[in-house]
Amino acid sequence: QGDNGPPGFFSINNNDGRSIYGNAAQYRLRVLTNWGISGDGAHFIRPDQFEDFFWIQAELPDGQTVKLTRSGYDYTLNNHTLTILGLAELGLSNDEDRWDECYIDDRDNQIDIILKGDRIAMGYLSEVHLPSGVTEYGRYKPLYNPGGPGIDPDPYTPYTAPSGYSTVEVTMAINDAMVVSYEDLKTFDEILNVNDCEGGNVKEGIRKHGKILRG
């Protein structure tokens, strides 16, 4: 949370894990990309498409690895439970937008994989995989930068290339979330109090509240 804009400013940025899955969302794996992403270059990725693009590897204390490929399934890792709820940091919840071909995301470069379960189980997560093709665990869709082929590509038109097989090591940040704090967000009317701006004295209002604007 914390990237939703000031009070009263409704936008598609209300898309963090809690906005999509409510209090069930406990942990996130944040995946960063470049240049914008799409499942085919034309349609946006939906929160219910974890299984289309990703799987996660967990490594247990004895060295055994477990592949987590399903969302909505309760995995038991060394007697501790973990469930992949789905994706977030995309678009709005299915209460606010349709999860179909018309779905729109926020066009940024991050996807959150949202999880719930035991804290110890989260510590076993070691890698996020983007297979981008057929594997022994199933068929996975690639990601595209803007300009991908869509669903009906023209054979004579060049498009951006699909992603290859990618593996990202998990940086464990449960004890140190590595995020910055932010000041209480205020509306523009609260920043420029009417009393400070009487007689057109807007500069005085900005001077007195400038620390909020700079924050």
What is the mean pLDDT of the segment spanning 66-76?
97
Is the per-residue pLDDT at 31 higher than 80? yes
Q: Read off the pLDDT of residues 142-154 as tens digits, 9 standing for 90 and up.
A: 999 888 998 889 9
Task: Single out the residue of 176, 172, 78 nearest to residue 127, CA to CA.
Answer: 172
Spatial separation of the C-alpha atoms in residues 109 and 126, rounded to whole Å: 22
Q: Read off the pLDDT of residues 83-140 as tens digits, 9 standing for 90 and up.
A: 999 999 888 887 777 788 888 887 778 899 999 999 999 999 999 999 999 888 789 9
Q: Hey, what amino acid is at 113?
A: I
What pLDDT shows up at residue 193? 55
* The model scores a pTM over 0.85: no
Q: Express as a percent the part of the chain with pLDDT over 90.
A: 50
Angle 97-138-76 from CA coordinates, rounded to 5°: 80
Is the per-residue pLDDT at 5 higher than 70? no
* Selected residue with higher pLDDT from 191 and 17: 17
What pLDDT shows up at residue 186? 62
